[in-house]
A and B are shown apart, each in its own frame.
Chain A
Amino acid sequence: MEGTVTFESDLNLKATELRLGLPGTNESEKQTPPSVRSNKRALPDMNEESRSKNYSSVTEAAGHGDRETAPPSKAQVVGWPPIRSYRKNSFQPKKTEADADAEATGIYVKVSMDGAPFLRKVDLKVYKGYPELLKALENMFKFSIGEYSERDGYTRSEFVPTYEDKDGDWMLLGDVPWDMFISSCKKLRIMKGSEARGLGCGV
């Protein structure tokens, strides 16, 4: 049947496709429902055959010839899940923050420095880790920050890099893993002087 052949070539492409999923996970395998037309076909060794037949019959029955239907959950089926578009739209901004890897847009956060007349913005996605970010900040504001130590923070300099996280708290830069930092950082502030001394001593 043409439907079956088409499906099998799709399956092969999927097998060689580069994806971000864990190796060994196969979307179509997970999503396969047993054949609804004959309950006898639920046995694992029959799965391959019944699965193809399922999808071809499903594809025809649903009339989605030109739409991607296998597996349904990954395809952006219009109208599914049944969530009001108003609600979907109100959550989109959060999704782009969390899913930074998948999206093409950068994560721009404001950077303020005590004593500087105006703020700057940096794209956190551009840096691979703290050392790179710190170097960029040093260049941007023409100061030097020294080294980070877990115990003492940034002791060698009178500048301390901090950031505001999702909860609204001011945190010392460098304590949490980089990925966690990127997803929770809302803005950066380079503190200077006496105020800076308070941080880094176990807040």
Chain B
Amino acid sequence: MTYFPEEVLEHIFDFLSSHLDRNAVSLVCKSWFRVERWSRRRVFIGNCYAVSPERLIARFPRVRALTLKGKPHFADFNLVPHDWGGFVSPWIEAMTKSYPGLEELRLKRMVVSDDSLELLSRSFPNFKSLVLVSCEGFTTDGLAAIAANCKHLLELDLQENEVDDSRGQWLSCFPDSCTSLVSLNFACLKGEVNLVALERLVARCPNLRSLRLNRSVNLDTLRKILMQAPQLVDLGTGSYVHHPNSEAYVKLINVVKSYKSVRSLSGFLEVAPRCLPSIYPICLNLTSLNLSYAPGIQSTQLIKLIHHCRNLQRLWILDCIGDKGLGVVASSCKELQELRVFPSDPHGVGNAAVTEEGLVAISMGCPKLHSLLYFCQQMTNAALITVAKNCPNFTRFRLCILDPKKPDPVTLQPLDEGFGAIVQSCKGLRRLSLSGLLTDRVFLYIGVYAEQLEMLSVAFAGEGDKGMLYVLNGCKNLRKLEIMDGPFGDVALLMDVGKYETMRSLWMSSCEVTLGGCKALASKMPMINVEIINENDQMEENPDDGMKVEKLYLYRTLDGSRRDAPDFVWTL
């Protein structure tokens, strides 16, 4: 076994797709390390500041696909100031020199400039796939460069990015020679697109499987597109509003009726609920349905639609479906694996909403459910205990009771027991988000039972340092811990500093940690970047060590403090 020729080793390693497996393999011996290193094609970097581009290139010289994540998760909720960081340009600049064969780039929560996109489009002749999730900093000019210059582009997938629509003709920049597109998603763009260019593009790309349109694409264009692309598997509609001219609508109905290939449906960014029945004929084929961006559909209409979707595995919906609607989901969608219920009115209190009843119904009807994101008005311990019993397979359980610190409305007790039941029952739980009134007890349960937990999100919970310590001591697989508005301070922070080297990152905002505590941590752990985000100018003049830190973000890193930190970020 020790004298395998390296080509054979490399061939065997090709079968290893998981980067965890490859990491393990590279530790076996020097020769395996070398072979693995040269044959690694795909790299995942969960925190772009954990390692520098130069180090990546030195370690893996022949990478073709890179995934990078930038800002911390709580940046999604406006907790991280603009200009905090997460710039992709140093990465792209480094890769132009060293990875001429780069084919795929996936970025999440990063700042991407038009210049970077332009450079990307010109530097990698085999570039095939660009996926941008929750990124910002670019305009449609950057997209135009990608469209124009990437001759073998297969995939352009833009998910929930903040894009400045500057000129809107980017779609026309795909040359006539571009016929290779497999996936195109521009649903998040707010501006107009050239509809004729779009139709022509779809017509000349026979391999197109996934197409997600933005709001500017009307029903009539959709119909024409569907006729040109009978093979779409994933469709995101734009505007789904029919005009009073009923002939156009009838034409659409006929096209949709015969559209058998679609398995995943989303969009309806603007919708006339009367048009929804046109979808009924294809509902049985759907495994994934996302209506979470579709405004103004009433519960009764949603119920009628979902009733037809018997094979649904993933459902993203707004809470206006109501508890009764979730009951219909429970009785109709027996194959359901993932459910996300979003609030239709983020600032509202008790309008159209869901409660614990809806969740219990789902748990009774959908035994395969393993991934949940549920925004609700209230939750009870009894309901959570029932859910835990019915669905022991949760891997992701995120519950958001809109009113922070809300107790069980029936017993007025904290929700410790309910969440405790979840972690005890769901042995495979990897991600958990807590809400409602919670004491230290819930953290005790998490520390004891949540052995596989990798990510924990906490807000307005706990009584003191003990809570955080239960988690840090108990959860051996914890990678990310993020806490907002908690009573945890220096004692918890400093008890086991070695723990942070086993984790990707820790976020604490509006907690009790002090500047002195953070300094102490930083001095003990050189391989950890301890960053303090200081937005008020309080800390400018000779800060006192006893001063509370408003936002702390620490993460392990191989390359020391970052050089691109703005003024308001202090690395201790």
Contact = CB atoms under 8 A, between A and B. Distances in A.
Given A82-B457, A82-B459, A77 B345 contact: no
Nearest to B437: A33
Given A34-B407, A168-B272, A81 B402 contact: yes
Nearest to B344: A91
B244 A83 contact: no
Given A64-B510, A94-B296, A168-B244, A80 B407 contact: no
A80 B342 contact: no
Given A36-B463, A61-B512, A72 B160 contact: no
Interface in B407-427: 407, 412, 414
Contact of B404 (A77, A90, A166, A169): A77
Interface string A44-75: 00000000000000100111100000001100
A73 B342 contact: no
What are the 6 closest A-B residue pairs judged by CB atoms, nearest first? Answer: A168-B272, A79-B77, A73-B403, A86-B160, A61-B487, A79-B79
A114 B77 CA distance: 48
Contact of A81 (B292, B344, B346, B457): B346
B343 A81 contact: yes
A70 to B, nearest CB: 11
B134 interface: yes
A167 B274 contact: yes
Interface string B504-528: 0000011110000000000000000
A80 B160 CA distance: 19
A36 B412 contact: no
A82 B400 contact: yes
A40 interface: no
A156 B487 CA distance: 71
B218 interface: no
Interface residues of A, number: 35
Nearest to A168: B272
A115 B178 CA distance: 47
Contact of A88 (B188, B292, B346, B400): B346
Interface string B342-360: 1111110100000000000
15 contacts: A33-B437, A37-B463, A63-B510, A63-B512, A73-B402, A73-B404, A79-B74, A79-B79, A79-B459, A80-B459, A81-B343, A81-B375, A84-B77, A86-B188, A95-B347
**Centre residue among B76, B244, B375 by max chain A CB count within 10 A:** B76
A90 B345 CA distance: 11
A187 to B, nearest CB: 12
Contacts of B345: 91, 95
Contacts of B241: 168
B319 to A, nearest CB: 12
Contact of A86 (B134, B242, B346, B414): B134
A36 B439 CA distance: 7
A37 B414 CA distance: 11
Name the residue in A42, A58, A79, A166 with the highest tally of chain B Cβ atoms < 10 Å from its Cβ: A79
B485 interface: yes
A12 to B, nearest CB: 23
Q: Which of A62, A64, A80 has the most chain B CB atoms inside 10 A of its CB?
A: A80
A194 interface: no
Given A33-B407, A77-B485, A87-B293, 4 more contacts: A62-B485, A80-B460, A82-B433, A168-B272
By CB atoms of chain A within 10 A, which of B77, B274, B414, B550 has the most?
B77
Interface of B: 74, 76-79, 134, 160-162, 188, 241-244, 269, 272-274, 292-293, 295-296, 342-347, 349, 375, 400, 402-407, 412, 414, 433, 437, 439, 457, 459-460, 463, 484-485, 487, 509-512, 548, 550
B79 A78 contact: yes
A82 B460 CA distance: 12
A79 B346 contact: no
Contacts of B162: 86
A167 B404 contact: no
A37 B463 CA distance: 8
B412 A34 contact: yes
Contacts of B273: 167
Contacts of A82: 76-77, 400, 433, 457, 459
A130 interface: no
A84 B76 contact: yes
B460 A85 contact: no
A95 B457 CA distance: 28
B190 to A, nearest CB: 9
A93 B439 CA distance: 38
A94 B295 contact: yes
B565 to A, nearest CB: 21
Interface string A166-203: 11111000000000000000000000000000000000
A79 B551 CA distance: 12
Nearest to A84: B76
Contacts of A88: 346
A168 B512 contact: no
B63 to A, nearest CB: 29
A62 B342 contact: no
A73 B437 contact: no
A39 B164 CA distance: 53
Interface string A138-175: 00000000000000000000000000001111100000
A105 interface: no
A31 interface: yes
A83 B550 CA distance: 21
A62 B241 CA distance: 47
B478 to A, nearest CB: 19
Interface centre among B160, B342, B347, B375 (most CB of A within 10 A): B347
Contacts of B346: 81, 83, 88, 91
Contacts of A166: 272, 296
Contacts of B439: 36
Contact of A85 (B77, B242, B347): B77
Contacts of B161: 86
A80 B77 contact: yes
A83 B375 CA distance: 9
Contacts of B134: 84, 86
